[in-house]
Structure 1
Amino acid sequence: MTATHSFSSLIPDVILDAVESTGLWSDSRIYPLNSYENRVYQIGIEEASPVIAKFYRPERWNEAQIREEHQTLLKLKAAGVPVVAPLEFSDESLLRHNDMYFCLSPRLVGQHPEADNLDQLYQIGELIGQLHKTLSTTPFKERISVSPLSQMDDAANQILTGRTLFGQSELAEELQLPEKLKPIYIRQIATLRDMCEASIKSYWPRQLRPIHGDSHRSNLMLHDGQFHLLDFDDCQNGVAVQDLWLHITQTENPRQQLSEIIEGYETYLPFETRELDLVDVFKCVRVISYTAWLQSRWHDPAFTKAFAWFGSEDYWINHLNELKNCELEWGQISR
């Protein structure tokens, strides 16, 4: 692929120049970490521990939104919540090099949670409860607020029309939903949207709260016996259960997992059990938005390499099956 993309100028020399612009001296070791929305690298530092350099995808978040993310992390760190906050240089955490925003943070070594470990689920519930309690008095002013039906509509419209979420550019034909599957897709989306709308009408919190927004297992690290939350790139005003439901991995009998997570959470805050009716809503939005995200980012060579299977007819059939499962499994969490 020869098209220009957001990170085409981010070659090793530029990465090292950016890091060394802070006054740190690199030993020239660069190790790319798994990240597609942004670019993240472990950078070796002379006579010191490596640092993690995160380069923000241009035009995704504006400066005020990124600064609010950093201010939140620094506030959480000061309050004793185990997070990885950005390093500050002359009281500045948001840095800029070659018109690209970046930040540096300490390297954290550890393991991600085990999916079915009930003790760890309790600890994760505690951590998220601590996070929500610490942030409860200061809603985000710059970050987005969750809007499930709008997110679902936007993502589904992109998939149906072939126009990206980020502008009006047409997607390549091979990335689009095949015409013969569109009637099935339209019916399935309409069914799920009605179900989502009914759940939201039944219960929606009066006030949204600051949340992590993407607290899946890969964004948690067990370090020195304590879980730490990583990557606040999607922090937003949302619903408490958004930070909890991704850790429920059992579909046939999720109650035991759910009980441990909520018990840990309630160490810090009461949990509104009516929010469990919204889990299916957020699951639908995640399934649809993930496919739309892959489409929208296909101009980035990192996506074509990592998700080479995307866009085939088999992929679209599997996507439709996922959506059907969302319908068939509706209510299993809240029953």
Structure 2
Amino acid sequence: MNGDELRQFWSIPEPLSFLPITQGVNNLTQVIETPAGSYILRSYRADRALEQIRYELGVLKRFQGRILPFQVPIPIPTMTGELFAVLSETVVSLSPRLPGSPPPNDNLEQAYAAGEALAQLVKALAELQVEITSQIAPFPPSGDFAVWSGIPIIPANLLQDLPLAKEEREQLLRIVEETQALSPSLYQTLPRQIIHRDYDQSNILMEGNSVTGVLDFEFCGPDLRVLDLAYALSQWPSGLWNTGKEWAIIDAFGKGYLRQQDLSIVELEALPLVFRLRATTSLFFHLGRFAQGVETAEEILERIQETLTTEAWLQIHAQELVRHAHRWRP
């Protein structure tokens, strides 16, 4: 991709320089430097459904004009008013580059600020209305496990092909079975709205103790309101599980969140189950990609080990997590 191709769709001054910075699950991100400023060019993978891209960009566009204490990557329309373009058979979108950098996971002040920002984002997303059609559709609710895999899969068969201990396979299948049985009750009892669904350190920008930007809305869509908090809490203490140091981070993030967004007692008490719900959805998603040859065995094994580590922690601390959650309220 070059500047001439890009200027077929967007009015960007020369000279241009392209610098790849990250490669996510569904896209490649590049920085474009110009005399007029910096931009982010996202190139979506070929297996990403076009209706999901339209939904993601439509959500972001609806933040235009809304006042938030941080920024989101609002897409810049093409010269014909579209929110994306197709260059060399690749779907791309353009947005301004946001200031800041991803935070570490061991700073209590930043964890608190990130919790506040997530709550503010959840409140803003609750106000958005995006019509779902055959051309505009999000990823499904997290409880629709079979849809997240992309193709029909049998987890037991795929796990059998991976170099896992028998106990690890059995534990993963037990998590899947129990979560599939319990998830319908979560969707019957807990509030739902549009949420981000991927709020972790890699998708947050900070300067000092202030969140400056929230990125990567590719998985956003209607789901359980509390799922964003559960996922963030399952990711933020990465590397700190079972050290005792995880609790300070969890409490800081949770208190920041509850300062801005109240949750019902039922939602707080469901946190351990929602942890497992998000982990099971992720397992189906990545096993599906593994079955399609999009992810390697090494990549799926890394994610499985993360799931097993978090599950081992939950087995010991699930009720303690709920007790802590009740103390997060101001």
Fold equivalence (TM over 0.5): yes
Shift of 1:104: 0.8
2:194 alignment partner, SS class: strand
Aligned to 2:196, which of 212, 221, 226? 212
CA distance in 1, matches of 2:92, 2:66: 24
**1:63-92 CA-partner distances (Å, limit 9, x unpaired):** x43233222212224212321211223443
Partner of 1:269: 261
Q: Aligned-pair RMSD on alpha carbons?
A: 3.6
Q: 1:326 aligns with which of 306, 311, 325?
A: 311
Quickly say closer, same or farther: Cα 1:296–1:221, change in 2 above 3 A: farther
Are residues 70 and 260 of structure 1, via their aligned partners in 2, closer, same or farther at CA, if it must alter by over 3 Å?
A: same
Counterpart in the other structure of 1:285: 280
Shift of 1:210: 0.7
Tell me which moved more, 213-222 or 196-205: 196-205
Structure 1 residues 108-147: aligned runs within 5 Å: 108-138=98-128, 140=130, 141=132, 142-147=137-142
Q: Which of 172, 189, 214 is the equivalent residue of 1:189?
A: 172
The 8 Å contact of residues 87 and 104 in structure 1, kept in 2 or not, is answered as yes
Pairwise CA distance, 1:296: 4.7
- SS at 1:44 equivalent: strand
Partners of 1:212 and 1:236 within 8 A in 2 = yes
Going from structure 1 to structure 2, the CA distance change for 1:256 and 1:79 (only over 3 Å counts) comes to same
**Aligned with 2:78: secondary structure?**
coil
* Mean Cα deviation higher: 234-243 or 147-156: 147-156
2:37 to 33, 41, 49: 49
1:222 aligns with 2:206: yes
Q: CA contact under 8 A between 2:119 and 2:260: conserved in structure 1? A: yes
Mapped to 2, the partners of 1:125 and 1:321 lie a distance apart of: 22
Say whether 1:79 aligns with 2:66.
yes
Is residue 2:11 matched to residue 1:23?
Answer: yes
C-alpha displacement of 1:103:
0.9
Contact 1:53 1:102 in 2 (8 A): yes
In 1, distance between residues paired with 2:72 and 2:283? 29
8 Å contact 2:196–2:219 — kept in the other structure? yes
The offset of 1:271, in angstroms, is 1.6
Secondary structure of the corresponding residue to residue 226 of structure 2: helix
Aligned residue for 1:121, secondary structure, equals helix
CA contact (8 A) 1:149 1:193 kept: no
1:285–1:41: structure 2 CA closer, same or farther, 3 Å change rule?
same
- Shift of the alpha carbon at 1:143? 0.9
Q: Does 1:200 align with 2:188?
A: no
The aligned residue for residue 243 of structure 1 is 228
Q: Name the residue aligned to 1:168.
A: none
Residue 104 of structure 1 aligns with an amino acid whose one-letter code is: L
Provide the C-alpha distance between the structure 2 equivalents of 1:112 and 1:329, rounded to a whole number of angstroms: 26
Q: Which blocks of at least 5 consecutive residues in structure 2 are unaligned?
A: 324-330
C-alpha separation in 2, matches of 1:15 and 1:198? 50
Quote how far apart the aligned CAs of 1:20 are: 1.7
Q: How many residues align?
A: 297
Cα contact 1:279–1:333 (8 A) shared by 2: no
SS at match of 1:333: helix
Could you tell me how far 1:216 is from its partner in structure 2?
A: 0.9
SS in 2 for 1:243: helix
**Preserved contact between residue 42 and residue 53 of structure 1 (Cα < 8 Å):** yes
Between stretches 201-210 and 228-237, larger displacement belongs to 201-210
Taking the aligned partners of 1:68 and 1:287, their CA distance within structure 2 comes to 20
- 3-state SS of 2:321 partner: coil
- Give the Å deviation of 1:211: 0.8
C-alpha change, 1:43 and 1:203, in structure 2 (3 Å) is closer
> In the aligned structure 2, how far is the partner of 1:191 from the partner of 1:30?
46
Q: Separation in 2 of the partners of 1:158 and 1:216?
A: 29
TM-score normalised by L of structure 2: 0.74
- Using the TM superposition, give the Cα deviation of residue 125 of structure 1 relative to its aligned residue in structure 2, in angstroms: 1.7
CA separation of 1:154/1:83 partners in 2, compared to 1, >3 Å: closer, same or farther? Answer: closer
The offset of 1:294, in angstroms, is 5.8
TM-score by length of 1: 0.73
Query: C-alpha displacement at 1:324, in angstroms?
Result: 7.2
Structure 1: 5+ residue stretches without partners: 1-13, 164-174
**Secondary structure, aligned partner of 2:270:** helix
Question: Are the counterparts in 1 of residues 206 and 212 from structure 2 also a CA contact under 8 Å?
Answer: yes
Cα drift, residue 321 of structure 1: 8.8
Match of 1:234 in 2: 219
- CA shift in 2, pair 1:207/1:15, >3 Å: farther
Q: Tell me which residue corresponds to 1:33.
A: 21
Identity %: 21
Displacement of 1:214 in angstroms is: 0.6
Other-structure match for 1:11: none
